[in-house]
Structures are given as structure tokens and as C-alpha cells.
Amino acid sequence: MEGNARTRFTPKQKAELWERWKSGQCVADIARALERRNKSGVYRVLAGNGGIAPAPRRRTPVALRLEEREEISRGIAAGQSIRRIAQGLGRSPSTVSREIRRNGGCTAYRASEAVVACADLWLAEAAIPGRSRHASIS
């Protein structure tokens, strides 16, 4: 018996889907162009957004940037306190503390790994049905 698992659209395919939809192509033509056996996947993407292309996702301005994560890493390596690191960044000590705890603690914190973990979490939250992040200015 053959499985009925859905083949998801890649981000590149979704971008192409929306471009074709905006240019006025019908669902059947879009499905053919994306090499899909049927139109239902295209319908699902279009219907899930009400036929309107979603706004591009952006990081919130209050999220820690790579430079700040690197500064946290350097501060830990230099033996600075969380309060001292936070003061240097102009951030709350609780923000720095959560960042360190969330990404391995003082002994294992690495800025590059923290950035990857943050991106993974962000993408995972975006995949939760019914959950949306507020659009922000970048």
C-alpha cells in the first residue's frame, strides 16, 4: 500500500507559486510548472493565505543580533558577570541570562551555535498552524 504523505513546497517553490499566481496563471498551470501531479497542493497554499501572498518574514528589532551574541561569548570567555555583559550591550541582565541558559550555559555557549538554534526555533514556531508572528520593521 502506497503512503499518502504530502510533498511540501520548498521556499523557492512557494516564491515561484506566488509569482505565477500574481501574474495571473491558473492553478493547473502553476501545478504543472512546479511538476506536481495534482492541483490540491497549490490550492492548499493559496487557500491558507486567502489568495494573498504572505509578507516576508523579518526578525524583530529587539532580537539579539549576531554581534551581540559574539559579545556575550567574549564576555563569558573573559569571565565577566552577566550584569557586566548586559551593561555593555545596553540590554537587560535577564535577556543575557536567558540567552546563555537557552544555549548551553556559561561552559558551552557559542555565538554561532546560538544563532543557528535561534533560527531553527523561529522556523519551527512559524510552522505551528494558527500561530503567526507580528510583522516588524527591519
Give me the mean pLDDT over the 51-63 stretch: 83
Distance set, CA 108 to CA 41, 70, 134 (Å): 42, 13, 32
pLDDT value at residue 120:
67
pLDDT value at residue 8:
86
pTM for the model: 0.51
Distance set, CA 132 to CA 42, 119, 120, 129 (Å): 21, 16, 16, 8
pLDDT value at residue 119:
72
